[in-house]
């Protein structure tokens, strides 16, 4: 008998498991709206032209080596990433009081940030919104933080439960860490308004809570990199501490390259240098140093004016296609006279629509219409195309009537 005889079969990941089930379905009608990855109108994964161009340059550069990167990754990548999220005029950058490390996409950046906080921050409690991306509680728990929640989504309005959010953060212990989605909240697609962000900022600062931003969709929500970074910049502008985890999975389509960054903004240069030295001690025993290829692509694009411009156009085209899918789905559902209100399809932001469909309705759509989505009723608008809209609208209509 194997020494692993008694290992229990683990359940499929709730999000990635949707694709496993989708792949097994032989129906030609099948539609995968589960996974958060961009698809073209033809339903195909997309490699951006500017990414292909950057890769060509890298391949043709005979001087490129495959040496190890430093523990915190490519230094140009780190500077450019911080500038991208904080803005080139950011006081934190001008005053040189931040520490950035290239990490393994958004997930790795969150994990390194969480491990750092467990070791070096006095408060081990992190507040995460309800609902949130399913991996968040696990990332923070595994890093040794204690996870609590704050109210975020109001199912009756399909919008923000702003009052509940303020109450819960007001009741949080002094110094607690607060996870905030920088934009395009996953899974709800509901973001605070500018005014609401300002309220949240004041509350967080007045209670000395520590903001930890997860920025997985910069540019993907509105089509503008600057607009989608406003929440983070508002917090950095007040001079306080904060953490930001960035991902290039969605906005550069570099999913499998695992490229992202963790930035810790501090109040002084001296503190930032010490923080950086401790970040290295967190990273070294985890994976030693990050991979070189994805970060080289990003750096090539960000440091070249023309390539940066080309990227922004391609990013906007992706965001616009998603926004147009929202409109088309909303029109199709309205045309069918489907019971209920569906404004939230066009009001919500980013990759996902939180439909309000319950798990029974979702199972029905999967078994009867071969449409795959997570059981919380979240659909990836990026997986939808014009020709599939009628089929999806039919399924939603049938599910709720």
Helix axis angle, 162-170 relative to 194-206, nearest 10°? 10
Active site residue 342: no
Question: For ligand PMP, which is the closer residue by CB, 133 or 311?
Answer: 133
With binding defined as CB under 6 A, does residue 260 bind ligand PMP? yes
Active site residue 61: no
Smallest distance, ligand PMP to C-beta of residue 351, A: 8
Between CA 190 and CA 174 the distance in angstroms is 27
Smallest distance, ligand PMP to C-beta of residue 85, A: 14
With binding defined as CB under 6 A, does residue 105 bind ligand PMP? yes
Phi, psi angles (nearest 5°) of residue 177: -85, 140
String marking each residue 166-195 x if it binds ligand PMP according to CB under 6 A: ---------------x----x---------
The angle subtended at Cα 273 by Cα 277 and Cα 301, nearest 5°, is: 90
List 191, 228, 241, 250, catalytic entry: 250
Q: 187 and 356 in contact (C-beta within 8 Å)?
A: no
With binding defined as CB under 6 A, does residue 220 bind ligand PMP? no
List 168, 214, 376, 394, catalytic entry: 214
Neighbours of 343 (CB within 10 A): 12
Tokens at 119, concatenated? 């070791």
Q: Which of 77, 127, 133, 220: binder of ligand PMP (CB under 6 A)?
A: 133
Smallest distance, ligand PMP to C-beta of residue 187, A: 8
Query: 353 in helix, strand or coil?
Result: strand
Query: 371 in helix, strand or coil?
Result: strand
What is the torsional sign of CA 12, 146, 143, 90? positive
Q: Which of 247, 299, 348, 380: binder of ligand PMP (CB under 6 A)?
A: 247
Neighbours of 8 (CB within 10 A): 5
Where in 152-171 is the site for ligand PMP (CB under 6 A)? Answer: none
Active site residue 66: no
**Tokens 């967190």 found at:** 282
DSSP state of 229: G
Q: Which of 18, 31, 33, 36: binder of ligand PMP (CB under 6 A)?
A: 36
Footprint on this chain of ligand PMP (rule: CB under 6 A) = 36, 105-107, 133, 181, 186, 214, 216, 247, 249, 255, 260
What residues are annotated to the active site? 133, 214, 250
């Amino acid at each position: 008998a194997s020494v692993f005889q008694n290992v229990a079969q683990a359940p499929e990941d709730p999000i990635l498991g949707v694709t496993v089930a989708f792949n097994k379905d032989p129906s030609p009608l099948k539609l995968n709206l589960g996974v958060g990855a961009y698809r073209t109108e033809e339903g195909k994964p997309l490699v951006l032209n500017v990414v292909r161009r950057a890769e060509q340059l890298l391949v043709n550069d005979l001087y490129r080596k495959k040496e190890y990167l430093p523990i915190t990754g490519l230094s140009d990548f780190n500077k450019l990433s911080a500038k991208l999220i904080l803005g080139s005029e950011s006081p934190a950058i001008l005053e040189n009081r931040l520490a950035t490390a290239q990490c393994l996409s958004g997930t790795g950046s969150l994990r390194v940030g969480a491990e750092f906080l467990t070791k070096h921050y006095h408060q081990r409690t992190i507040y995460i919104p309800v609902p949130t991306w399913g991996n968040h509680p696990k990332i923070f728990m595994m890093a040794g933080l204690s996870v609590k929640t704050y109210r975020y989504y109001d199912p009756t309005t399909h919008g923000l439960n702003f009052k509940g959010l303020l109450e819960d953060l007001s009741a949080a212990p002094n110094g607690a860490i607060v996870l905030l989605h920088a934009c395009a909240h996953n899974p709800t697609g509901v973001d605070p308004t500018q005014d609401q962000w300002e309220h949240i900022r004041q509350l967080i600062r007045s209670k000395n809570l520590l903001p930890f931003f997860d920025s997985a969709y910069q540019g993907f929500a509105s089509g503008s990199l600057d607009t989608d970074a406003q929440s983070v910049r508002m917090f950095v502008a007040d001079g306080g501490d904060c953490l930001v985890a960035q991902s290039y999975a969605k906005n550069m389509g570099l999913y499998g390259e695992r490229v992202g960054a963790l930035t810790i903004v501090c109040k002084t240069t001296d503190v930032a240098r010490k923080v950086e030295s401790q970040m290295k001690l967190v990273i070294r025993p985890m994976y030693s140093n990050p991979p070189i290829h994805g970060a080289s692509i990003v750096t090539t694009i960000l440091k070249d004016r023309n390539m940066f411009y080309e990227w922004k156009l391609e990013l906007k085209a992706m965001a616009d296609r998603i926004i147009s899918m929202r409109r088309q789905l909303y029109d199709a559902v309205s045309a069918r006279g489907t019971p209920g209100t569906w404004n939230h399809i066009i009001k919500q932001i980013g990759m996902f629509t939180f439909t309000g469909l319950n798990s029974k309705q979702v199972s029905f759509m999967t078994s009867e219409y071969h449409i795959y989505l997570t059981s919380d009723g979240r659909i990836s608008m990026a997986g939808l195309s014009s020709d599939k809209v009628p089929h999806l609208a039919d399924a939603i209509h049938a599910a709720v009537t």
